[in-house]
Amino acid sequence: MSRGSSGDGYRRGRDVERERDDPSVSGVYRPILPVIWGIGAVLFLVVGWFDLRGALAVVLVTHLFFAGLIRADIKSLRRQGVDWGHSRHLWFGAAFTLPFVALAYYWYSGRVVRRANESRGVGDADDADDGRGASDDRPARST
Tell me the pLDDT tens digit for each residue of 44-62: 999 999 999 999 998 888 8
Mean pLDDT of 16-36: 77
Distance of alpha carbon 57 from alpha carbon 20, whole angstroms: 49
Query: How far apart are the C-alpha atoms of 107 and 101, rounded to whole Å?
Result: 10
Query: What are the boundaries of each domain within the chain?
Result: 27-113
Given a cut of 70, is residue 37 above it in pLDDT?
Answer: yes
Q: pLDDT value at position 53?
A: 93
pTM score above 0.85: no
- What is the pLDDT, as a whole number, of residue 14? 56
**Length of the chain (residues):** 143
Q: What angle do CA 10, 12, 18 make, to 5 degrees?
A: 125
On whether the CB atoms of residues 92 and 70 are closer than 8 A, the answer is yes
Alpha-carbon distance of 31 to 69, in angstroms, equals: 10
pLDDT at 132 over 50: no
Residue 81 has pLDDT above 70, yes or no: yes
pLDDT band of 93, cuts 50, 70, 90: confident
Helices and strands in the chain, H and E counts = 5, 0
Q: What is the pLDDT of residue 136?
A: 46
pLDDT, average across residues 5-23: 56
